Amino acid sequence: MKRKAARKLALDALVALIVLVAVSPFVVMLGTALKTPAESVAYPPKIMPARPTLMHFADVLDPAKFPFARYFANSFIVAFSTALIAVVVGSVGAYAFAKLPVPGKRFLESGTFVVYMFSGILLVVPLFRIIAALGLYGSRVAVVIACLVSTLPAALSMLGNYFRTIPDSLEEAAFMDGLSRLQSLWRIILPLSLPAIMSVFVYVFMIAWNDFLFASIFLSDPAKMTLPIGLRQFFSSQDYVWGRMMAASLLTGLPVVIMFAAVEKYITGGLTSGGVKN
Amino acid sequence: MRSPPPRIPPSLEAQNRRLGLLFVLPAVALVFAVIIYPVFFNLYLSLWKPALNPAKPDLFVGFGNYARLLADPQFYRSLALTAVYVALTVAGSTLLGGSAALLMNRDFRGRKFARSALLLSYVMPVISSVFVWIYLFNPLYGMVDYALVDLLGLFEVAPQWFDDPVLSLLLVCLFDIWRIFPFALIMILSSLQSIDGAVYEAALIDGARPFRIFRCITLPEILPVVASVVTLRSIWNFYKFEDVYLLTKQVPILGVYLYRTAFTVNDLGLASAISVVMFALVMGIVFVAAARRKGASS
- pLDDT (tens digit per residue) in B93-102: 999 999 999 9
Domain that holds residue B125: 64-297
- Burial A204-236, CB ≥16 within 10 A → b, else e: bbbbbbbbbbbbbbbbeeeebbbbbbbbbbbbe
Q: Which of B260, B187, B196 is nearest to B229 (CA)?
A: B187
Hey, is B49 helix, strand or coil? strand
Number of H helices, E strands in chain B: 14, 2
Residue-range domain boundaries for chain A = 2-53, 59-276
pLDDT of res. B13: 78
Is A167 or B280 the better-scoring residue by pLDDT?
B280
Is B5 or B154 the better-scoring residue by pLDDT?
B154
pLDDT of res. A233: 86
B25 in a structural domain: no
Task: Tell me if ipTM is over 0.85.
Answer: yes
Is A4 or A201 the better-scoring residue by pLDDT?
A201
B248 in a structural domain: yes
Q: How confident is the model at residue A238 (pLDDT cuts 50, 70, 90)?
A: low
The CATH architecture that domain A59-276 belongs to is: Orthogonal Bundle (1.10)
Distance, CA of B87 to CA of B99 (rounded, Å): 18
Q: What average pLDDT does range B185-206 have in this prediction? A: 87
pLDDT of res. A265: 77
B9 in a structural domain: no
Q: CB-CB: which of B178, B190, B258 is closest to A121?
A: B258
Q: What average pLDDT does range A175-181 have in this prediction? A: 84
pLDDT of res. B7: 52
The answer to whether the Cβ–Cβ distance between A100 and B19 falls below 8 Å is: yes
Distance, CA of A34 to CA of A54 (rounded, Å): 6
Residue B13: closest CA among chain A residues belongs to which residue? A101
pLDDT of res. A237: 64
- pLDDT (tens digit per residue) in B154-167: 888 888 899 999 99
pLDDT of res. A277: 26
Is residue A223 a contact partner of residue A16, using CB atoms and an 8 Å limit?
no
- What is the nearest CA distance from A187 to chain B, expressed in angstroms? 17
- What is the nearest CA distance from A64 to chain B, expressed in angstroms? 22
Mean pLDDT estimate for chain B: 89
- pLDDT (tens digit per residue) in B26-66: 998 998 999 999 999 999 999 999 877 767 788 898 899 99
B54 in a structural domain: no
DSSP percent split of chain A into helix, strand, coil, nearest 5:
80, 0, 20
B137 in a structural domain: yes
B108 in a structural domain: yes
pLDDT of res. B97: 96
Domains identified in chain B, total number: 1
B293 in a structural domain: yes
- pLDDT (tens digit per residue) in B238-294: 999 999 999 999 999 999 999 999 999 999 999 999 999 999 999 999 888 888 887
Among the residue ranges A214-223, B130-139, B149-158, the one predicted with the least confidence is B149-158
Residue B130: closest CA among chain A residues belongs to which residue? A249
> Domain of B276: which CATH number?
1.10.3720.10
B210 in a structural domain: yes
